[in-house]
Amino acid sequence: MTTLQAVIGAARTIRSEHDVKPSLEVPLRVRTDDEPTRAWLASCAALIAFLVKTKDAPVFERTGGAREKGTTVSVVPMESGSIHVLVGLKGS
């Protein structure tokens, strides 16, 4: 549960720090190499989407890959690595 709270908190902090209006939906990507954590977070996708106010369903994927232009990232530390929370701000 702590991991879920940290991911949601990271996304909401990015929204707040960048003055994203509460009415706007944002794209969200969650990246981690820890497969069980990624699968568990994906099972909570509807809750994450509701609490973060995402545009479409959040995307859960392995760490790596390009960061899209207009995206801000927050890193959530874990015992087994880290979780990268990417929030799209382009157009917000």
CA-based nearest residue to 53, from 22, 75, 74: 22
- Which domain does 50 fall in, by range? 2-88
**Rounded to an integer, what distance in angstroms lies between the CA atom of residue 51 and that of residue 49?**
6
Q: Tell whether the torsion through CA atoms of 5, 28, 49 and 16 is positive or negative.
A: positive
18-43 pLDDT per residue, tens: 999 989 999 999 999 999 999 999 99
Average pLDDT, the chain: 94
Q: Note the pTM of the prediction, 2 decimals.
A: 0.92
Token readout for 4 is 């879920």
pLDDT reported for residue 80? 81
- Number of domains present in the structure of the chain: 1
The answer to whether 34 touches 7, Cβ cutoff 8 Å, is: no
pLDDT at 75 over 80: yes
